[in-house]
Structure 1
Amino acid sequence: MKTDENTVRNSRSNAKPENSLFTVNNLLFLAIPLALALRWFNANSILVFAVALLSIYPLAEAMAEATEAISATLGPTAGGLLNASLNNAPEIIIAMFALKNGLGNIVKASIVGSILIELLFGLGLAMFLGGLKHSAQRFNEEAIQINGGLLTLCGFGLIIPSIFHLSSPTAELELSFEISAILLLIYFANVGITLSRKPQYAAGSLRHTLPLDSGTGHPPTRWSRTQSLSVLASAALALAVMSEVITGSIEPTSNQLGLTPMFSGIILLAGAGGIGEIISATRFARNNNMDLAVEASVGSSIQMILLVVPLLIFSAPLMGVNMNLLFEPIEVIVIALTVIITRTLTADGRSTWIEGLMLLAVYFMLAIGFYYLPESTGTL
C-alpha cells in the first residue's frame, strides 16, 4: 500500500510541471516575440542577440522531446539523424544570410566553430552531465565506429583544399566545388544506409531507461509520431526565424564587443547555430540515452560538413559572392586535433564525466586562444 501511495505521489509531482502554464520552458517561449519586437524597434544589438539566443532553448527542448518520441519507433540512429537535420536548419540559414551579407570570412570561421561546439563542447557537456548522474554510460560501438570513419573523412575534406592550395593556388574554386560534390555524395550514401537499417532498441540505452508499452513493445511517449513530426517541423520553422534575427545582430554585436571576425564566427556564430544540438545532446545524456546524444553531437557535426558546407559552396555563386574550402593553418590544425581527440575518447563505446570534462577543457583552451588571435589573422 505504501508503495502504491509513493507511486501516485511521484506521478502527480511529475505531471504537475507538464500541466502548468508557468513552467520555465513555457515562459522562455515569450523570448521569441520579445526578440522580434526588440529588433523591430532597433534596440541595442547585444540585447537583441542575447534574447534571440534565449528563445532557442525552449525550441531545442521541444525538438529533443519530439526526437525521443520518434526514436521510440524508428530507433536512435534514425531519430538522431532527424534531430540533427532539423537542428542544422538554423546553421544553414544563419550561414546563408551571413554569406549573402558578404561575411564570407565569418562563415568559414563558423564552420570550424560548428565542429568545435558540437564535438568538444556539446558532446563534452553531454558526457559530463550524463556521467555525473549515471556514472559510466555506454553507446553503440558499431555506430560510433561508422561515425568516427565519417568524421575522419570530413576532416580530410576540409584539410585537403588548404594543403593542395600551396601547389595550385589558381584552382581553389574548382577544387572546392569538386570536393564538395564528393562530400555531398557521401552524405546521401550515408543517409540511405541509415534509413535502411532496422530500429535496434536493444543496442541503445533507450530500452534500458524507459519501460516498454505492453501493446506496442516500444517505450511509451507523450506524443504520437504524427504529433512529434509536427512539433519538430514547427520548432524548426521558429528556429529559422530566430536564426535570421541572430544573423542580423551578429556583426554589430561583434563590433560593440571589439571581437575579431574569426572569434565572432568560431564562438558567437557557431554557438548560436549549435545551441540546439547542445541542448538535445545534454538532455539525451541526462536521460541515459547516449546513442541519441552521440547522434545529436557527432552526427550533427558530420552532417554539417557533408551537407551544409557543400550547400554553401554551391550557393555562393548564385548570391554573387566567393566561397571556398581554404582555411587558415591554425584552423586546419584545430580541425585535425578535434577529430583526433573525439575519436580517441569515444572509440571504446563508453563515456564518463571526466572524459566529458576533458573535451570541455580543450574547447575552452581553444576559445581563449582564438580570443587572443590578432585581427589581421583571418580566413583566406
Structure 2
Amino acid sequence: MNQKLFFLLLACLFVLSGVAHYAHFGTVAEFIISALAILFVAGFLGKATESVSHYAGQRLGGFLNATFGNAAELIIAIFLVRAGLFDMVKASITGSIIGNLLLVLGASVLLGGLKYKEQRFNVQLASHNSSLMILAVIALGIPAIFISTQHFSAHKSELLSLTIAGILIVAYVLWLIFSMITHKDVLADVEETTPDHGEEAAWSKTTSVLFLVLATVMTAFVSEWLVSTLHTFTAKFGFSEVFIGAFLIAIVGNAAEHSAAVMLAMKNKIGAAVEIAVGSSLQIALFVAPVLILVSTFFGPTMDIVFSPIELAAIAVSVFIAKSISKDGTTNWYEGSLLIFVYIILGISFYLV
C-alpha cells in the first residue's frame, strides 16, 4: 500500500474510532471501527519497529518488533484486568501464545518456504527457545493442577500466583541477559552479515523512534475504545469470552507481528521471523502474563495464574508442534502448513465452546 494512503487511512480510522466511542455509535459499529483502527495502528507499529531494527540487526530487531508488537496486547489486557474480565485476559494470553506459535510462525514459514526451498536459522537458538517454551507450559500448568486438586484457599492461590509471576519475570530477564549480552555471538542468526542487510530504512533513526512512541500511544487509546465494547458485543452475539479472548483479540493484537514476521520471512530473514513469532510467545508467557498478575493487585482482587484445561491443552499442543518443527534450525513450506492446520483445529474447537 502507498505510504501516503496508509497514513491517511490510519489517521481517519483513529479519529473515527474516537468519535464512535465518545459519540456512542452503537456497540457493533464501535467494535468494527476500533478493530479496523487497531489493525492499522498495529501495522504502523510494525513498520516503525522494522525501521528501528534496520539499525540494530535481526535478533535485536526481532526482539524490538515482538516487544512493541506485544504492546497492543499488553495494553488491551491491562484494560481488561481493570474491568475485572480475568477469564477473557487468560483467554487472550492463550490466544497470543498459540497465535504466535501457530499462525504467525506458520504463515512466515509457509510463505517464506514457497519462495525459498529451505530456510535456516541458529539451531542453538531453536534449542533454547524450545526449553523456554517448555518452562512456560510447566509454569502455567503447575498452578492449575495444585490449586484445583488440593483446593487451595484464596490466600494460597494468590500467594502461589504472585510467586510464580515473580519467578517467570526473573527467568525472562535472565534470558535477555544470556541471549543479548553474555551469549550474543553464539546465538547470532546464521544469515546475518550486516545490520542493515543492504537495504534502506523506511525512516531516519530519530523519526523511527518517534513513530514507535506515537504508535504505542495510539495503540493505548484504540485498545481502551475496543475493550469498552467487548462485554456488550459478546453478549449480543452469544460468543464465549474464551473464543473472543483466544482468537479475536489475539488476532487483532498480533497484527504487528503478522505483517512484520511474514515480510521478513519472504526476504529470507527467517531468523528475525522466528524471533518475532517464538520470541513474542515467550514474552507473553514469561513476562506479560506475570506482569498482568502483578498489575491486577493494584485494581482490586489479584488475578490468579490458573488456566482452564482447554487453554492449557491448546498451549501445550502449540508448544509441542512448534518445538518439533523448529528444533533442527531449518524450515520449509510444508512445516508452515502443519502449524496453520493445528491453528484451524484449535480455532474451530474454541468457537464451539
Report the TM-score when normalising by structure 2: 0.91
User: Which of the numbers 40, 57, 71 marks the counterpart of 1:75?
Assistant: 57
Kept in 2, the 8 Å contact 1:94–1:244? The answer is yes
Distance 1:288 1:67, change over 3 A: farther
1:318 equivalent in structure 2: 298
Written as runs of structure 1 = structure 2, the 5 A alignment for 1:176-325 is 176-196=161-181, 203-205=189-191, 207=193, 212=198, 219-325=199-305
Q: Which has the higher contact order (CA 8 A, sep 6+)?
A: 2
| 8 Å contact from structure 2 (residues 127, 327) kept in 1 | yes
Please say if residues 179 and 187 of structure 2, whose CA atoms lie closer than 8 Å, have aligned partners that are also in contact. Answer: no
Paired with 2:255 and 2:302, the residues of 1 have a C-alpha distance of: 27
Whose radius of gyration is greater, 1 or 2? 1
Paired with 1:203 and 1:308, the residues of 2 have a C-alpha distance of 25
Given the superposition, is the C-alpha separation of residues 160 and 145 from structure 1 closer, same or farther in structure 2, using an over 3 Å criterion? same
Q: Distance in 2 between matches of 1:353 and 1:120?
A: 13
- Name the residue aligned to 1:366: 346
Q: Which residue of 2 aligns with 1:169?
A: 152
Deviation larger for 155-164 or 63-72: 63-72
**TM superposition shift of 1:54:** 1.9
AA in 1 matched with 2:238: G
Give, in whole Å, the separation in 1 of the partners of 2:337 and 2:59: 25
CA contact (8 A) 2:119 2:330 kept: yes
Between the two proteins, the alignment pairs up a number of residues equal to 349
| Deviating 4+ runs (over 6 angstroms) | 199-202
Equivalent position amino acid for 1:167 in 2? Q
CA-CA distance at 1:75 after TM superposition: 2.1
Cα distance change, pair 34–135 in 1 and its aligned pair in 2 (3 A):
farther
Structure 2: any 5+ residue segments left out of the alignment?
none
Q: Does the CA-based 8 Å contact 2:161-2:304 persist in structure 1?
A: yes
Q: How many Å separate the matches in 1 of 2:100 and 2:143?
A: 23
State the TM-score, normalized to the length of structure 1.
0.85
Q: Post-superposition shift, 1:37?
A: 1.4
- Report the Cα offset of residue 97 of structure 1: 0.9
1:50-61 to 2 correspondences below 5 Å: 50-61=32-43
Match of 1:146 among 122, 125, 128: 128
Show the 5 A alignment for 1:32-111. 32-111=14-93
| Secondary structure of 2:55 counterpart | helix
Q: What SS does the corresponding residue of 2:227 show, helix, strand or coil?
A: helix
Residues 353 and 49 of structure 1: CA distance in aligned 2, closer, same or farther (over 3 Å): farther
Paired with 2:196 and 2:300, the residues of 1 have a C-alpha distance of 51
CA offsets, 1:127-185, max 9 Å, x none?
22222233322222222222221111111111111122212522221111111111010
Matched, 1:155 2:147: no
C-alpha distance in structure 2 between counterparts of 1:109 and 1:192, whole Å:
30
Q: Do the aligned residues in 2 keep the contact of 1:74 with 1:199 (CA within 8 Å)?
A: no
Post-superposition CA distance 1:355-379 (Å, at most 9, x none): 1111111111111111112xxxxxx
Structure 1 runs not aligned, ≥5 long: 1-15, 213-218, 374-380
The amino acid that maps onto 1:203 is: D
Residue number among 328, 331, 334 corresponding to 2:308 in the alignment: 328
In terms of mean alpha carbon deviation, does 179-188 or 57-66 score higher?
57-66
Deviations 1:242-269 (A, max 9, x none): 1111111122221222101211221122
- Within the candidate set 325, 339, 347, 2:327 is matched to 347
Give the Cα–Cα distance (whole angstroms) in 1 for the partners of residues 2 and 202 of structure 2: 14
Secondary structure class of the residue paired with 2:168: helix
d(CA) in 1 for partners of 2:157 and 2:187?
45
Amino acid in the other structure paired with 2:68: L
